Amino acid sequence: MITSVLVANRGEIACRIVRTCRELGIRTVTVHSDADENALHARVADATVRLPGAAPAETYLRADLIVKAALDAGADAIHPGYGFLSENPAFARAVLDAGLVWIGPPPEAIEAMASKTRAKKLMGLEALPLHKVTEDDLPVLVKAAAGGGGRGMRVVRDLAALEDELTAARAEALSAFGDGEVFVEPYVEGGRHVEVQILADSHGTVWPLGTRDCSLQRRHQKVVEEAPAPGLTSELTDSLYAMAVRAARAVDYVGAGTVEFLVSGDTAHFLEMNTRLQVEHPVTEAVFGVDLVALQIRVAEGCALEALENDPPRAQGHAIEARLYAEDPAHAWAPQTGTLHRLTVPDGVRLDTGYADGDPIGVHYDPMLAKVVAHAPTRAEALRKLAAALERADIHGPTTNRDLLVRSLRHEEFTTARMDTGFYDRHLPALTGSAPDPYAPLAAALAAAHGRSRFGGWRNLPSQPQVKRYAVAGEEHEVHYQHTRQGLTAEGVRVVRATSDLVILEVDGVQRRFEVSRYGDQVHVNNTTLTALPRFPDPTAHHAPGSLLAPMPGTVVRVAEGLSEGAQVEEGQPLLWLEAMKMEHRITAPATGTLTALHAVPGRQVQVGALLAVVQAPL
């Protein structure tokens, strides 16, 4: 019996594993980098061990330090979570060689599936259908052989761009995974990403635990997942189950894993096998009523699945998961940093997170804040429940993708299950273009005015309206209000009530409530985030036309080959790349002209707003 587990991970998945271990009566140990010293996963475990440094290569990717931490802390097993070392066969062997229990598949199974190119060859021998590239297969997808999460992936629609995209993909894959091998496969327009959850024991039993659809993706990373995958025929579902079981048996798989397919119509092709727990595993747990982490632990202890149940559990209802990211979808999905002041969701949905109120969101790791999961008897009910929960959630801090998620879940193409992996390519502008609540700046101003009114805001003599300025979604709003005998009045709207944290306005005979929270210059009014502006703009806050400013804090990883001051550049030409929160972000020329200044140097860390370069357009 396992008595103590070290979780070789961080953030949301580490907290989630700790939660199950506590329910099973198992002691927990976590590891933390210096950047994560006060992170939630370091606080909730029974013990935690420091990994000196901040970069993943120095910390969460150091197999030797993690095994030593487990031994020093008295753990007898290691759970790798997902990402980092979870699919590293050398790490699995090191855990076993140290006499510890590895809560995962055998190293040989991980190794067989670790490279997508080797995995495809192996599955071809098992007669699983594969995509094959021909000269006429444009567009194609360039993919990293050793990793996932959208890194090292490029869609190429023009043959002339293939060589440059191969070079870029190799560089990103090498940086992210330490392996620059890439391969090319056909890119299927309108394809769906469908996967099968499997669970296998060491006694020869393999359970297929339903399908999941993960087609809503940005930058080849999943955003919304659901179980079961909607719209599949029973014949196709049975075929996917059979192929997933065959793939597991081909490598003598043990534990939880996922076999991924590209589905087009009634045809499915093998993509890859993830030899670990998936980020989206909660939707399967909700539908089948199981705890996959608990089952992983029992399988690692040698338990036979048939000893738990004679048959695989049966699916009940529908579950949908949305990944909440600290990012700005309207501006190239730029990751955001800062303090997460508050994160709460209504009762009735599941929240998996690695953050607590007041925690900082840094630059070193993935920008995912949480996963919100809704389960209901039908897909339509689960959709409605999840969209409403996200809409009513309190998310105070940096910009997030919350509004995008709500609009995605209510989009006709998604509600009718006609989505595919190109959903955001088609609909992103419409999904990010909605205006914020027009009464939010007024509510913010009235709440601020209430605080001052306690010190004598009303005067017997008539006075000019007070003015406050706010920035909302890049636009400036000026609000006028007055203190009168009747209380606060504002812009023809009846103020029913105004306190420092609650404003009630009557608009066209309907009373509306606005909850107001302040954190320095940042004001949250219901779902709208505002920034209080000084009454008079700072005349020194100015950059020359054509200035390229860092859209996020990060590290300059590359500058375009041969680029130097004085070079002629074209509008949209890639100039440099920033790495932030595990993703590379391309910075392009804002106009055709001359590069008059280049301040970006590979390896240099920059803050948001830092001047990277200047491109001067012809007069």
**Residues with catalytic function:** 276
Element (H, E) at 107: helix 107-114
Please identify which residue in the block is written with the tokens 């202890």: 301
Contact 357, 339 (CB under 8 A): no
Peptide linkage before 553 cis (omega within 30 of 0)? no
Structure tokens at 383: 């959709």
Q: What gap in Å lies between CA 365 and CA 204, rounded to an integer? A: 38
If DSSP codes are grouped into helix, strand and coil, which group holds residue 144? Answer: strand
Partners of 172 in beta bridges: none
Nearest to 179 by CA among 149, 140, 152: 152
Structure tokens at 274: 């993830």
> Which 8-state DSSP code applies to residue 155?
E
| Cα within 13 Å of Cα(569), Cβ side | 30
Per-position DSSP letters for 549-582, written without gaps between them: E-SSSEEEEEE-TT--TT-EE-TT-EEEEEEETT
At residue 477, φ and ψ (nearest 5 deg) are: -125, 135
Q: What gap in Å lies between CA 224 and CA 213, rounded to an integer? A: 8
Q: What gap in Å lies between CA 596 and CA 542, rounded to an integer? A: 17
Q: What gap in Å lies between CA 170 and CA 175, rounded to an integer? A: 9
Contact 153, 142 (CB under 8 A): yes
Show the DSSP H helices in 278-397 as ranges: 281-288, 292-300, 305-308, 379-392
Nearest to 341 by CA among 385, 386, 400: 400
Structure tokens at 532: 């209080």
Residue 276: exposed, middle, or buried by beta-carbon count in 10 A (0-12, 13-18, 19+)?
Answer: buried
> Which 8-state DSSP code applies to residue 45?
S
Contact 292, 98 (CB under 8 A): no
Element (H, E) at 369: strand 368-376
First to last CA, the chain: 76
Q: What gap in Å lies between CA 314 and CA 366, rounded to an integer? A: 34
Q: Which residues of 469-502 are buried (b: 16+ CB within 10 A; e: fewer)?
A: bbebbeeebebebbbeeebbbbeebebeebebee
- Name the packing angle between helices 402-409 and 379-392 (round to 10°): 150
